[in-house]
Structure 1
């Protein structure tokens, strides 16, 4: 197994005892979602083929994704405060692929990447949901 060095701030996060959690977690939703409504979300494993910063945007990254269909999928996501685009190429993520396209900064975004978010003090911390690289692009998440 290969050792991967973590940045100092990430390494220190993992060393914090649960009783001293520095994060504020949003409360669980109180509204129920039906099983049928949940199943309507088509969540798929996607592989990042390319990722670039969107010009004139401080937050947006443009992802070119392999979604298993043979046609590249473009998704824009506000991940630049948390990731450098070149660090995401080759990663395996999860996306909702049946959200209607939305144009942002002149680029059509066709889906939504899943992430975890929380607060550390007044600062938002977001991590993309990354999954095992052995899962093929296009695999349905259920």
Structure 2
């Protein structure tokens, strides 16, 4: 079901062999990017004032579960450094199993207005990188994960 399972398994095996944290720090020259198709950059520009209104923060995954009655949604309980848990829903279940994300440090936009999905209020958005494979409809999605030494709530500039 997961379109990146083969590549992910190969990456994990390579990462385990080289001791680099399951591929997290795999050098680019050891990853095959030849089948990747990247979308063109936007031509429209955003002024700095507009961009600076977005609040990007490091968040720690405390809990992650599949949303009942949804094939796509995962519900994250996150530590955003405020002392109050933050809930964010993300439609990434085709790419990740909930248990593999617990304990990871991700990047979120925390000042989006709350949005209800499947009756659950989502308070932010997790950032990910998406690309398509050449000559294929398959899509790869990778959550942006950062070093676990970065504390919850750290602001990105």
Provide runs of 4+ in structure 1 moved above 3 Å: 9-15
Q: Which residue of 1 aligns with 2:143?
A: 128
Shift of 1:84: 0.4
Structure 1, unpaired ranges of 5+: 1-5
Structure 2, unpaired ranges of 5+: 1-7, 15-27
User: Is residue 9 of structure 2 the alignment partner of residue 7 of structure 1?
Assistant: yes
Q: Deviations over 1:81-139 (max 9, x none)?
A: 00000000000000000000000001000000000000112111100000011011001
Number of residue pairs matched by the alignment: 134
How much is the aligned-residue C-alpha RMSD, in angstroms?
A: 1.7
Shift of 1:23: 1.2
Which of 43, 46, 55 is 1:30 aligned to? 43
Superposed counterparts of 1:47-86, under 5 Å: 47-86=60-99
Q: Which residue of 2 aligns with 1:91?
A: 104
| TM-score, normalised with respect to structure 1 | 0.89
Give the 3 Å change call, closer, same or farther, for CA 130–136 of structure 1 in structure 2.
Answer: same
| TM-score, normalised with respect to structure 2 | 0.81
Give the 3 Å change call, closer, same or farther, for CA 141–56 of structure 1 in structure 2.
Answer: same
C-alpha separation between the residues in 2 aligned to 1:45 and 1:9?
24
